[in-house]
Amino acid sequence: MALQAGPATEQTTTTASPSEEPFILCDNLVKIYKVADLEAVALQGLDLQIQQGELMAIIGNSGSGKSTLLNILGGLDRPSAGRVIVGGRDLLKMSERQLVRYKREVVGFVWQQTARNMLPYLTALENVELPMIIAGRYGAKERRWARELLEVVGLANRMNHRLSEMSGGEQQRVAIAIGLANRPPLLLADEPTGSVDTRTAATIFDLFRQIRDQYGTTIVIVTHDPKVMSKVDRVVAIRDGKTSTETIRRVAIDMTDFAAGNIVLGETHDEFVVLDGAGRLQIPREYLEKLQIRKKVRLELEGDQIIIRPIPSEDADKSQQEAHHRRWGFR
């Protein structure tokens, strides 16, 4: 697949126009964890924009910073530096009290470990009612809403079952209903299909789409399941705490068989390399390996293209030698 470089976020929209303020803005986000005397840099200058109503996924290897990013967006953790704005709120400038309200009203969370989402000895319905009770709202309207949510997630006839009697997939559906209980505009899901089989995973991804379409919820799913690609509008890959590439799904119309009366609707994926605020880009590792690129390349502007040329290894040695000579005044 050919990679296209560009500030791709500007081209991504599903429900909002590109000129609109993004719902989520992460600007040069840094998160450093200090453990004893060691520092772990979980996010190193991450830039990301997400539009309101977008259904997107963040993929990346274990340890790449996905959960760190999600926890920051959810107000569970604070960044070390950078800017993060959600729905016009600057998360770094919020007081503890504002943060509590933010967590209750603006974001819903779905975790991989179902135990973190709910109480096994309560029924599905009671579990969905709980966040509303905790938020101090509970009446006929809320009861109706809890039922509606359980219907939406496909558990209309399992509402009064205890969670301990439900399958992993059913529990994850309840978890999604719980995450939506306080009608948050933003739903964050960390590896929501990590504990279910492939087929169940596909139906859960479909459910996220249905919820976005029905309620306009902005949904960010963290996963290492590449199959998410065909289920969301956009996939952003993060590597070493920075966004590296993004892939946008488009519906393609195939007219090649038009004469025979067939118009085929399919999907294509456009993959882009993301530039950071300083114009840096990450070259995919497979390309680096294929062309044996190590420390340097040549960059050439040709017409409307920028060409990245590998330096043959002897050349690289020679140019290093030359630089050394220049530095020490040798000829």
- Which residues contribute to the site for Mg ion (CB under 5 A)? 67
Neighbours of 209 (CB within 10 A): 14
Q: How many residues does the chain have?
A: 331
Task: Pick one of Mg ion, ligand ADP, none as the site partner of residue 63 (Cβ within 5 to 8 A by kind).
Answer: ligand ADP
Nearer to Mg ion, 67 or 217 (CB): 67
Q: How far is the CB of 320 from ligand ADP (least distance, A)?
A: 32
Nearer of residues 170 and 190 to Mg ion, judged by Cβ: 190
Closest CB 193 distance from Mg ion, rounded Å: 13
Q: With CB cut-offs between 5 and 8 Å by kind, which of Mg ion, ligand ADP, none does residue 58 bind?
A: none
| Residues in CB range of 60: below 8 A, 6 or more apart | 66, 224, 237, 238, 239
> Which amino acid, residue 76?
L
Q: H or E segment at 173?
A: helix 168-179
Q: Which is nearer to Mg ion, 67 or 171 (CB)?
A: 67
Which two structure tokens, joined as six digits, stand for 7? 């500030």
| Alpha carbon 248 to chain centroid, angstroms | 13
Report the nearest approach of Mg ion to the CB of residue 67 (Å). Answer: 3
What is the strand order of the sheet 38-50 is part of?
A: 38-50, 24-35, 81-86, 89-90
Among 33, 121, 258, 287, binds ligand ADP (CB under 6 A): 33
With residue 321 as reference, give the H or E element that holds it. helix 313-328
Min separation Cβ 65 and Mg ion, Å: 9
| Contacting ligand ADP within 57-116 (CB under 6 A) | 60, 62-68
Q: List residues near ligand ADP by CB under 6 A.
A: 33, 35, 40, 42, 60, 62-68
